[in-house]
Amino acid sequence: MKSILTLIVVLTAATLTFGQTPEELADLQLNGYNNRDIETFLSAYSDSVKVYNFPATLLYTGKENMRKRYSDMFDKMPDLHCELVNRIVEGHTVIDHENVTFDKSKPTMRAIAIYKVSEGKIQEVYFIVERPQ
């Protein structure tokens, strides 16, 4: 009985420490994005998140920079929507293939987002973007 109780305590502590799975964090930020809910969107990211154009061009660092960029987009783009086309989850990495609509009167943008998760938050994001012609 004592070993079962110890196991429960360890598993509970691990859940509190690490929170959601990488896939759950990817879902959380996607739902926040599609609902234009900046707080839900940002809750998946670490305070020091790094955002890149793939493979290694740093665009910006930090959740507050992300807040500024996405708050403006959420406010100004009523058609904003991201459709998840396909997802691969491997360990602490989530790779999403997405179709992103900014304006319904314009073609969607195809993108790949790679989320690197550690310490219970998304730490790095890499984007591969195919802009409509």
Q: Among candidates 118, 129, 132, which has minimal Cα distance to 54?
A: 129
Given this model, what pLDDT does residue 13 score? Answer: 39
Does position 130 have pLDDT exceeding 90, yes or no?
Answer: no
Domains of the chain: 20-130 (3.10.450.50)
Look up tokens 């195919």; give the residue.
Answer: 130
Given this model, what pLDDT does residue 25 score? Answer: 98
Does position 11 have pLDDT exceeding 50, yes or no?
Answer: no
Q: Which residues have a Cβ under 8 Å from the Cβ of 72 and sit 6 or more positions away?
A: none
- Distance CA(109)–CA(99), nearest Å, equals 6
Output the pTM of the full model.
0.83
Given this model, what pLDDT does residue 15 score? Answer: 42
pLDDT, tens digit (0-9, with 9 covering 90-100), for 96-121? 999 999 999 999 999 999 999 999 99
